[in-house]
Amino acid sequence: GRIMTFLIVAILAMIVSVGIAVAARVVLLWMGLSEANAGVLAFFIMPLLWTWLAYALLMEERRMAQWRMLALYAVPGLIMLGTGLVA
């Protein structure tokens, strides 16, 4: 119970947040931002999203709802990996 909650909220939510930040960086580069600006914004997005995602996951009462939420938020990072836009 508690160990699984910790793993979901601390580890998996962080990995998902990194994936979204990397996806955001790619989108920002497509929008014409410089490498430096896109990188800084990705570094800014990751901890904010991780905090929000951890809070939202902890508010879910059912484990299945937590898994669904993680799966939904993992989509942008998975798309970027699947298309080969990030290594």
Please tell me whether the overall predicted TM-score, pTM, comes out greater than 0.75 for this model.
yes
Question: What tens digit of pLDDT does each residue of 1-15 get?
Answer: 889 999 999 999 999
How many residues does this entry show for the chain? 87
Question: What tens digit of pLDDT does each residue of 53-65 get?
Answer: 999 999 999 999 9
Which range has the worst mean pLDDT, 42-46, 49-53, 77-81? 77-81
Q: Which residues contact 25 (CB under 8 A, 6 or more apart)?
A: 38, 39, 41, 42
Mean pLDDT taken over the chain: 92
